[in-house]
Amino acid sequence: MKDSPGLTPLITTTQIRKRIAVLAGQISHDFDSREPLMIVSILKGSFMFTADLVRALSIPCTIDFLQASSYGTRRSSSGTVAITGSITVKGRHVLLVEDIIDTGLTINRIVDHLRLQQPSSIRICTLLDKPAARRFPCTPDYTGFRIDNIFVAGYGLDDRERYRELPCIVAVER
């Protein structure tokens, strides 16, 4: 861990590893008879979670990426979501892999965007959930950890592009 002032450890590397093993077991069980599962990783924040999650799955999958930006360099949602990347999901069982669901705006926009292509199903897996911050309804199918309405970084998540490389989740003091 970086020895930076203003960072408080919140979720350890070991806790993340153990939780991912459980999530991967549930997902592998739920999608056992359907194949192959289409993983859609939402960049940039979910790159590390996706890499660890897919390695823990015991079913075949394909892996695609979309980039969604709602925050820019600010710590509060801008209210608009830009989605970049073209993927084909028609007839596929899609698992969206997110780093964190906050207001719910980003994930709702992505689901609406992909539904136009008529996938067979869309489910949502998020490492972190901040239910107290929700403004747009969303209930993830798979959740790593529920956290309070605080700003966090590490394990792929950033604070103005810093701390993505940390192997654990930290609370960032404002």
Cβ atoms of residues 77 and 103 within 8 Å: yes
* Cα separation, 16 vs 144, whole angstroms: 8
Distance (Å) of CA 24 to CA 11, 75, 77, 144? 18, 30, 30, 10
> Angle between the 13-30 and 47-56 helix axes, to the nearest 10 degrees?
60
Tell me: does residue 57 bind ligand XMP (CB under 6 A).
no
Binding-residue total with ligand XMP (CB under 6 A): 18
Tell me: does residue 119 bind ligand XMP (CB under 6 A).
no
Instruction: Report in angstroms how near the CB of residue 28 gets to ligand XMP at its nearest.
Output: 24
Q: How many CB atoms lie within 10 A of CB 16?
A: 21
Site for ligand XMP in 18-47 (CB under 6 A): 45
- Write out the H or E segment, with its range, that includes residue 23: helix 13-30
Assign 153 to helix, strand or coil: strand
Nearer to ligand XMP, 145 or 151 (CB): 151
Asked if 102 is an active-site residue, the reply is yes
The item of Mg ion, ligand XMP, none sharing an interface with residue 151, based on CB under 5 to 8 Å by kind, is: ligand XMP
Instruction: Report in angstroms how near the CB of residue 157 gets to Mg ion at its nearest.
Output: 6
Instruction: Report in angstroms how near the CB of residue 29 gets to Mg ion at its nearest.
Output: 31
Nearer to ligand XMP, 16 or 152 (CB): 152
Among 99, 102, 129, 159, which one carries the catalytic annotation?
A: 102
Q: Of 58, 62, 79, nearest to 70 (Cα)?
A: 79
Tell me: does residue 110 bind ligand XMP (CB under 6 A).
no
Enter the DSSP assignment of 131.
Answer: G
Site for ligand XMP in 152-171 (CB under 6 A): 152-153, 157-158
Nearer to Mg ion, 28 or 69 (CB): 69
Q: Which parts of 91-144 fold into alpha helices (H)?
A: 105-115
Annotated catalytic sites, by residue? 102
